[in-house]
Amino acid sequence: MLKGLQRGAGERGLAWQLWERWISEIIADFWAVARLGIGATLGLVGVVSLPRAFVFRATLDDPHPIPWIRVRLSGAIGEALYPHPQWRQLAGVWESFYPPTGLHENTLRTLGLLETTMPAFI
C-alpha cells in the first residue's frame, strides 16, 4: 500500500491517500500505456475531453482520478516507460486545452500536491 510511501503528514499525506484511492484506475491506465504507448494517452484524452467543469471536478471520494490529473499521470507514466519528447508535447497540448487557471484555491492546491508527488508515485 501507499502508506509506506507517504512523505509527510498533512497535505502531502492527502495526495498519497488519493493515489491509493485511485489505484485500480491507475493500474488500468498503466497497463494501457505499457501496451499501446502514446495511443493509450491519446485515447484517454478523447474520453475525458469534457466541459471544463468536469475535467477539473475534484470529488475526493470518487475511485476515478480527477480527469485533468489522470491525463497528466498517463503521460508521465508513458514518459517513464518510453522516454521521448512526444510525451511533453502531449502534456503541453493538454494544458493548452485545459489551463489550470481560475480554479478554486483548494482544487489548485490538490492538483499541485498531486503533481509534486507524481514522480515518486510513478
Reported as a single tens digit per residue, the pLDDT across 50-80 is 999 999 998 878 899 999 999 999 999 999 9
pLDDT of 60 reads 74
The predicted-structure confidence for 91-110, as pLDDT tens digits, reads as follows: 999 999 999 999 999 999 99
50: helix, strand or coil = coil
d(CA 23, CA 116): 17
Domain residues of the chain, as ranges? Answer: 9-121
d(CA 39, CA 86): 11
Q: Would residue 8 be called left, alpha or beta, if left means φ above 0 and alpha means ψ between -120 and 50 degrees?
A: left
pLDDT of 74 reads 98
Cβ atoms within 10 Å, residue 2? 16
pTM of the model: 0.90
Binned at pLDDT 50, 70 and 90, residue 8 comes out as low
d(CA 66, CA 107): 10
98: helix, strand or coil = coil
Instruction: Please give the helix or strand (H or E) that residue 56 lies within, else none.
Output: none
Residue 102 CA: distances (Å) to CA of 3, 66, 99, 106: 32, 17, 9, 11
d(CA 28, CA 77): 12
Average of per-residue pLDDT across 38-51: 97
